[in-house]
Amino acid sequence: MLFDVVQDFVDGSCHAGPTTSLTPSDKGPRDDDEIIEPAVRMIELALAMRAEGVINNLKDTYGFLHYSERPVDVHFKLFQVMPDSLQRDLRRNMLGYEDKDTRPLKLEVGTEVSFDLSVHGTIHATGGNHNHRNRKNASHERENLKAQRILFLPPKTIITNKVLGKTLEGVIAKQDTKQPYAGTVELKDTLTPMTLEERHPLVAKMIDKYLADTQDTEPLIFHDIQTAKEDDVVFQLIESKAPQKLKWRHTTDADKAEVMQPAGKLVLTKITGDEPAPPPEANVSDDNASVDQTDVMSTASSDFGDMEGKPPGRKNRKKGRNQRPKIIKTVRYDKGSLSSELRKDGPPNVGDKVVLDVIQSRRAGVVSVSNMKIVERMVPEEGAGAVGGGAAEEDNTTMGVVTEVVSQRKFGFISVMDETATKRESLFFQFSAVENGSKSSGPPLRKGDEVRFKIGTEKNGKRVALHVTTLPRGTIPSRADKNACTGIVLLEPTHTELKNTKKLNNSNSTASNQSNGSSRWDSGDDKQKEEVPITEQGCVLLTSDPTNMFAPKGDDEE
């Protein structure tokens, strides 16, 4: 808080009074003519339980926001948004941001915010009405997180993604046989992912600030109950930043009776010089270790929902969880990771040299690839481009439909017609593998052609199409769906277009035109022309409609 200290001349007592200063360093008179209303100002919020997020949904009295530190949504009531006057003072002192510098910040989707995060228990949901396989009566738990004391942040304050590297060199190490334009890249240089402090900056700042204040020896008690995952983040950062300086526990029923603190809140305490420092794993209870009853919550408070008496912090945490993050040597890519030029070209093959950008999401921790380009394609071995060269043939022969043809690179893809498969496989083929294709100067096959081929396996395990031969259209049977409609073609699609048709100005002039021996179209204005395109349109008489797909809307009669 920021205020003036006022002393009463009568009894000498002191009390807090309103101040015209906007910041603690604001001592002298101002140069501008702005009139400052005296007030006791809030200039900084407690960092314990503070978090960041982005508003993604708003309703009449509540909303939801994306939690920036892990992939969950947080619920909030609109009255939890702090008043504008408080927000201006907080942004000015905590961020050095003046609202008059840009457009006013307001409550809308996409606004970045900071807030106090707490838990309202766990929601148990049962999917009894869902028809998912093996999940008909399965139940799952969902955290009921809430946000309080919401503060608007300037745009681009929250870091959502971190670029781990740009224009990195790598080699295609593996291709996905089930998904074209997807696979794995082996990087030339290893990368280090985001640290725990980078993903949870407010928690790290809270620990640093608490340790820096040497005058404050009181325990730091969180003002509400957190989830186990939030508590684990605090524990891991303490183990990495201050293992011999801080210890933690949860409030118990004894604390509730003495200091009116609900059981289950996290408490951080500084280790004094007279107190022996605990071993690095003293705060982690093992299955065979004795547990101090004052450090573990015995029963849950009524505000803790359905946590069934369990403390929010995990007691049996695995040792060694706070090891250094693993280095990144390989990354996965898909078609969305490729540059716009590479998407139009052929897919990357094993051995191709590429350059790419690597990005990590702060929210989910997922590492992804973007803007990948091929620098040098691997030259295939001699005979690998021939029919069957470099690939072991299988005995079976199957049929399929050409789904994609890349003329520039002389290859394409065929969708295998397998009714027993849950997902149709797409096989790669080269033009040199086509035996009876088109003799024209263009590609030997076109998209939609029906073909017969054999399946081969290359040295890298990739399945390809070999000995491809075209089939007459209609060879592959087309089975209609059981709910398909039936009908009779009355008019086949045509390429006729009614263009440059003169528009009649007066429909009543037909009789006079006929009496003059002229056509009624002669009275039309040549400048007024009506175009009625009916290109490639036909007409079908519907004879059956099992699902009432074409039934008139609002017609209740069967």
313 vs 391, higher pLDDT: 391
- pLDDT for residue 33: 61
247 sits in which H/E element: strand 246-250
Q: Pinpoint the alpha helices (H) of 425-537.
A: 510-515
pLDDT mean over 216-220 = 86
What confidence category does residue 98 fall into, taking pLDDT thresholds of 50, 70 and 90? confident
**What's the predicted TM-score (pTM) here?**
0.61
What confidence category does residue 16 fall into, taking pLDDT thresholds of 50, 70 and 90? very high
User: Residue 463 in contact with residue 179, Cβ under 8 Å?
Assistant: no
pLDDT mean over 268-277 = 74
Residue range(s) in the chain whose domain bears CATH number 2.40.50.140: 42-152, 161-194+325-376, 391-470
User: Exposed e or buried b for every residue in 352-362, given b needs 16+ CB within 10 A?
Assistant: bbbbbbbbbbb
**pLDDT 10s digits, 41-87:** 999 999 999 999 999 999 999 999 999 999 999 999 999 999 998 99
User: Residue 18 in contact with residue 68, Cβ under 8 Å?
Assistant: no
pLDDT mean over 110-126 = 79
Q: 320 phi and psi, to 5 degrees? A: 80, 15
Q: Pinpoint the alpha helices (H) of 472-534.
A: 510-515
**pLDDT 10s digits, 483-493:** 788 899 888 77
CATH annotation of 391-470:
2.40.50.140
CATH topology of domain 161-194+325-376: OB fold (Dihydrolipoamide Acetyltransferase, E2P) (2.40.50)
Q: How many CB atoms lie within 10 A of CB 136?
A: 12
CATH annotation of 42-152:
2.40.50.140
Q: If you count DSSP H runs as helices and E runs as strands, how many of each does the chain have, helices first?
A: 7, 24
User: Residue 283 in contact with residue 235, Cβ under 8 Å?
Assistant: yes
- pLDDT for residue 531: 46
Q: Which value, in Å, is the radius of gyration of the alpha carbons in the chain?
A: 36
Q: How many CB atoms lie within 10 A of CB 266?
A: 23
- What is residue 163's three-state secondary structure? strand
- pLDDT for residue 355: 94
Q: What is the dihedral of CA 70, 76, 82, 83, to 10 degrees?
A: 140
